[in-house]
Structure 1
Amino acid sequence: MSDTPSSQSNAPEHKEQGWFGKFLNLVEWLGNLLPHPVILFAMFALGVILVSGIAGLFDLSVVDPRPEGAKGRSADGMIYAVSLMNGEGLRLIVSGLVTNFTNFVPLGTVLVAMLGVGVAERSGLLTVAIRLLVLKAPPRFITAALVLGGVLSNTASEMGYVVLVPMAGYIYLSLGRHPIAGMAAAFAGVSGGYSANLLIGTVDPLLSGITQEAAQLIDPAYQVHAAVNYYFMAGSTFLITIVGTFVSLVIVEPRLGTYDPSLASEKLDTSDTLKPVSGLEIRGLWMAAFSVLVLMGIVGFMLQSGGALRNPETDEILNSPFLKGIVAFIFIFFLVPSVVYGKVVGTIKKGDDVVDGMAKAMSTLGLYIVLVFFAAQFVAFFKLTNLGSILAVTGADFLKDIGLTNALVFIPFILMCCFVNLMLGSASAQWAVTAPIFVPMLMLVGFSPEVIQAAYRIGDSTTNVITPMMSYFGLILAFAMRFDKKIGIGTIVSTMLPYSMLFLFCWIIFFYLWVFGLGLPIGPATTIYYAPGG
């Protein structure tokens, strides 16, 4: 696809408020009514306690769908609600408060992964890799490079928002194109394609940990490794790049028209952002790439038949130390190349620099750790009270009663995730709330947790770019105001809406084609269907 807009409109930016602007104002108003996510989870945890008391008072129960003899199944074949509003419940709350937090699977995985990412940020490896990807791309493919670079930057969490999105504006400006269009292309890749990637990132172990917690409400032994969606998300990378490039060139850039530099809030200088990658940085990248190859060779050797990273009992990769320890490999594959790169270019001169990078990464997770504490209590209380299992069985029975037990169930599920994401922009926060309900529910009608998680990620990603509740939305708006001091939330959302709509439409089709049309696995050692009690 040629990197030239389909038309060169000279119309001014669209600032009028139509029906969509009014809708956005309503969404923003409703979103502002919500308390802080930490307070929200505290309220959810308290709500579970109160509901459990009422459910226990009325002896709420459902028939357990698991076969006789299944682990965790009661003797009479019923699932009863457990009240936390009595003496026994109080003892469970008090005794489990700390372990609920420390045993919450996503916490440790994110902390370990971010240690490696922190060193990569400290060394400058991530920044120069993004610069090389974008600036070395042929001019006619610069938009595709920005979208693809945005998708790949998700491996390093917020690096795409902080580095690539503002840099994209300056790149477009230097090429005589509208800087907001450049920011939109990068933002679409970073946020709209949040779940797609060619690499395993920090979000993968985070979501898989929550999915595992939810799946174990039905099957206590069920394991969900971090790479369960890898094949599907790697394929989705190319889908998002193609669709994002099309929307940028055919819809967004022509609509924005010719840029007026007088709109800038400050003097714009592109020299530093567009500074070419130096010879020393190139050498550092080559050495880092060589270290990655060495690591891959070592891991590949240990994955051979009889290798240390295979399942010691079955000699398979399924449930092997490799898949169970994927977070450790994320850490290593960030740490080693980053140290090598830093040594070459001089950004890492001693061990203290490595420690500083890790410490800085940990310092940025303060709010996340507080959030996880309350999220962990909510998930634990939900599990203790059996409310998740009761809701799942009831919901599954309802789906069976209306005949919606086939693959079409994922369409309303994905749309529901899209809507919830407008109000609760954090992927982990949203999944922590919805997974305990929908993972068991859809497992009971025959779908695997891995497929359910993949469907969730489509809904969670596609509306990121149009919700002011997304944690980095304010940062994007601040960057955009450098180029247009009068820009507002409505302008950002109306610019990004075409990405959201086409991403959703095309991604759903891609999901059905991949999973149910071709029957392709969505990740290593995964299945499409789940047999309760199987």
Structure 2
Amino acid sequence: MKANLQVEGLQQESRFVQRLMNVIEKGGNKLPHPAMLFVYLSFAIILISWLLNSLGVNVVEPLTGETVHVQNLMSTEGVDYILTSLISNFAGFSSLGLVLVMMLGIGLAKQVGFFETFMRVSLTKVQSRFVTYAVIFTGIIGNIASDAAVVIVPAMAAMIYYSLNRHPIAGLLIGYAATIGGFTANLIIAGTDVLLSGITTEVIQGYNDTARAVTPVANWFFGMISVGMLVVVIAFVAKKYIEPRFGEYNSSMAEEGFLNHKESHISKQQIKGLRYAALSGILYVTFIAILTIPQNALLRGGGDSFLDSLFLSSIVPLLLGFFLIISLTYGFTVKSLTSLSDVPVLMGKSIAEMSGFIVLVFFAAQFIAYFNWTNMSTIVAVSSTNLMESMNFTGLPAVVLFIILCAVINLFVTSGSAQWALLAPVFLPIFYNVGFDPGYIQMAFRIGDSATNLLAPTSPYAILILGLMKQYDYRTGIGTLFSAMLPFAIIMLICWISLFVIWSLFGLPVGPGVYMYY
């Protein structure tokens, strides 16, 4: 009787969730490709600049007292700017070089098999009572390997849950919630930190050239603390809602022959490779620490403050060195590298996977450059700031509202870099004018951008997970997936915002030297 009720409950998908997801899916599917979105927005900026210039729109810049007018991109001067700045806008875009350099190291580690082996070992070498926590933790920190974690962690979690006589789809969904919902948190600096900080720097220095650059470590402290919080929150939701919802597993509902599939064995050589890679990584970190911590150390750059050190300003090259060391050590140990000549070939493959990002950056760079050149960023920032001040809505509540706005937009624009390139030119100057640090606002964006990833039906990862679910139970559908993800997304967002508010009220830095106000 109980089993029948559970099957019946699984078949009855929430009508409200179904309708809501259908609306989101239809709306998201109507949006153009992110790159084309910036093409259309760039043309819109050109037309709007002509209109606002014709109307004589202007504001008084509060810091200088100067009157700022909208510059017309359809004028001779504007056309000259469009044509002559095309290449420099792209080549000079802050995040482009930084991300590609990081991917040389991270991509090599992925190509030689380091990340896959690390995640598989992390999930299979733990006691059964700690499996849920291991799945969540591995999924969150696995975002350093980008989409590799989304492919590996949920699938491995499902197999482990099945071997422990627990429902495999519950394990699958817990792994998915950790990898996608916790994408913005990590213990170390990831490619996302480099990408977003580059966009933030590009925007804020385009608005105010005296503003300091936002470094990849700008959100490091809060990101590390977020890992612990998310492990607890996701585990709570899993125990309270997900595992009871699915109950006992009926293996007869799986695809024929699917459960006979056996996961490939982790060889002794792969374990040896992980150990040697870990040792080489520890030695590298120790060496860098020796060059950084002492007062007159080489990577202190002669400065008294650690915030002004050569270490922080050179974090991307140093991280590249770290990933190269562990990749080479692991690769030569397991024979996925046979000579140094293999390294540039594998690096080339990892850069090839970034082709979509490069195309996106080209068009996003033009949009941001046009928005700044026309002075529309100043017009919007000053006007919005004046409105916020007149409403006395310039403090932490405004930031919380911004997080919620990002969470909603994320349902339609699933690319985090595209969404930030879209929102940053508008909102960073507004918050900067009332004293908020750009790195702090970047962290606020990342919370909203991450939590609702689980509810975006246009995400390619949702299709992947849905396919895996059907292999374990052919009756599952999109309603099953999103009704299960709903409590994860809502509770994660509430807890993440709460942590951010508490963090802010105590005046703690979200990263080295990055506080609520600059």
Q: How does 1:186-265 map to 2 (within 5 A)?
A: 186-221=175-210, 222-265=212-255
Q: Please tell me whether the aligned partners of residues 148 and 237 of structure 1 are also in contact (alpha carbons under 8 angstroms).
A: yes
> Deviations 1:226-254 (Å, cap 9, x if unpaired)?
00000001000000111001111110111
Distance in 2 (alpha carbons) for counterparts of 1:355 and 1:267: 40
Q: Which of 343, 352, 360 matches 1:371?
A: 360
Structure-2 separation of matches of 1:228 and 1:170: 37
Who is 1:491 aligned against? 480
Does structure 1 residue 528 correspond to structure 2 residue 516? yes
SS in 1 for 2:307: coil
Cα gap change, 1:214 to 1:426, in 2 (>3 Å): same
Provide the rounded CA distance (Å) in 1 between the counterparts of 2:193 and 2:245: 35
Residue aligned with 2:299, SS: coil
1:30 is matched by which residue type in structure 2?
A: G
- 1:475: Cα distance to partner? 2.1
Structure 2 equivalent of residue 437 of structure 1: 426
Match of 1:48 among 26, 42, 45: 45
Change (3 A) 1:163 1:8: farther
> Does the residue aligned with 2:68 lie in a helix, a strand or coil?
strand
Q: Which of 503, 512, 515 matches 2:504?
A: 515
Look up the equivalent residue of 1:234 and give its one-letter code.
Answer: M
Query: How far apart are the structure 1 equivalents of 2:483 and 2:367?
Result: 35
* SS of residue paired to 1:525: coil
Is 1:176 the counterpart of 2:176? The answer is no
Larger deviation: 405-414 or 475-484? 475-484
Return 207-216 or 145-154, whichever deviates more: 207-216
Instruction: Note the C-alpha offset of 1:59.
Output: 2.1
Aligned-pair distance for 1:98? 0.9
The alpha-carbon deviation at position 272 of structure 1 amounts to: 4.0
Task: Report the TM-score, using the length of structure 1 for normalisation.
Answer: 0.92
* Superposed CA offset, 1:235-291 (max 9, x none): 00000111001111110111122222233234224764373x433222222211111
- Paired position in structure 2 for 1:23: 20
Task: Say which of 285, 288, 295 aligns to 2:274.
Answer: 285
- CA–CA distance in structure 2, aligned partners of residues 480 and 357 of structure 1: 32
* 1:40-61 Cα deviation digits (max 9, x unpaired): 1111111111111111112221
Residue equivalent to 2:449: 460
2:417 to 409, 419, 428: 428
User: Aligned partners of 1:326 and 1:8: how far apart in 2?
Assistant: 56
Match of 1:35 among 27, 32, 36: 32
Q: Determine the structure 2 residue equivalent to 1:3.
A: none
Q: Is the 8 Å Cα contact of residues 508 and 515 (structure 2) preserved in structure 1?
A: no
CA contact (8 A) 1:9 1:258 kept: no
Structure 2 Cα separation of the partners of residues 158 and 14 of structure 1: 30
Q: Partners in 1 of 2:470 and 2:71 — Cα distance?
A: 52
1:396 to 373, 379, 385: 385
Verify the 8 A CA contact 1:8 1:254 in the aligned structure 2: no
* Equivalent pairs, count: 513
Map 1:330-349; keep pairs closer than 5 Å.
Answer: 330-349=319-338
Deviation at 1:306, TM superposition (A): 2.4
Structure 1 position 145 matched with structure 2 position 142: no
The aligned counterpart of 2:296 is 306
SS at match of 2:187: coil
Residues 140 and 327 (structure 1 numbering): CA distance in 2 closer, same or farther, change over 3 Å? Answer: same
Are the equivalent residues in 1 in contact too, given 2:13–2:483 (CA < 8 A)? no
* Structure 1 vs Structure 2 CA RMSD: 1.8
Contact 1:229 1:522 in 2 (8 A): yes
Distance 1:223 1:8 in 2: 59
Amino acid at match of 2:365: A
> Equivalent residue for 2:92?
103
* In 2, Cα distance between equivalents of 1:479 and 1:106: 34
Of 42, 62, 81, which aligns to 1:65? 62
Q: Secondary structure at the match of 1:443?
A: helix
Following TM superposition, by how much is the alpha carbon of 1:206 offset from its aligned partner in structure 2, in angstroms? 0.5
Task: Decide whether aligned partners of structure 1 residues 328 and 427 sit closer, same or farther in structure 2, where only a CA change above 3 A counts.
Answer: same
Letter matched to residue 477 of structure 1: L
Q: Which amino acid aligns with 1:204?
A: D
Separation of aligned partners in 1, 2:483 and 2:6 = 18
Aligned pairs (5 A) from 1:74-113: 77-113=66-102
Q: Provide closer, same or farther for how the CA distance between residues 8 and 381 of structure 1 changes in structure 2, counting only shifts above 3 A.
A: farther
C-alpha displacement at 1:8, in angstroms? Answer: 12
CA contact (8 A) 1:285 1:341 kept: yes
Give the fraction of aligned pairs with identical amino acids, expressed as a percent: 37
Measured against aligned partners, the alpha-carbon deviations of 1:3-38 in whole angstroms (never above 9, x if no partner) come to: xxxx99844414434122111111111111111112
Corresponding position: 1:360 with 2:349 = yes
- C-alpha deviation, 1:162, in angstroms: 1.7
Structure 2: runs of 5 or more not aligned: none
Q: 2 CA distance for matches of 1:402 and 1:14?
A: 49
Shift of 1:479: 2.5
Query: What is the CA–CA distance in structure 1 between the aligned matches of 2:269 and 2:61, rounded to whole Å?
Result: 64
Paired residues of 1:171 and 1:270 also in contact (CA < 8 A): no
Matched residue type, 1:529: Y
Distance 1:311 1:52, change over 3 A: farther
Contact 1:230 1:523 survives alignment (8 Å) = yes
What per-residue deviation string (whole Å, max 9, x for no partner) do you get for residues 472-504 of structure 1? 222222232322334322221111111000000
Once the two structures are TM-superposed, the CA of residue 39 in structure 1 deviates from its matched residue by 1.2
Kindly provide the amino acid, as one letter, of the partner of residue 415 in structure 1: I
Which runs of 5 or more residues in structure 1 are unaligned? 1-6, 69-75
Does the aligned pair in 1 maintain the 2:381–2:426 contact within 8 Å?
yes
- Per the alignment, residue 263 of structure 2 pairs with 273
CA distance in 2, matches of 1:266, 1:381: 56
> 1:11 touches 1:255 (CA, 8 Å); kept in 2?
no
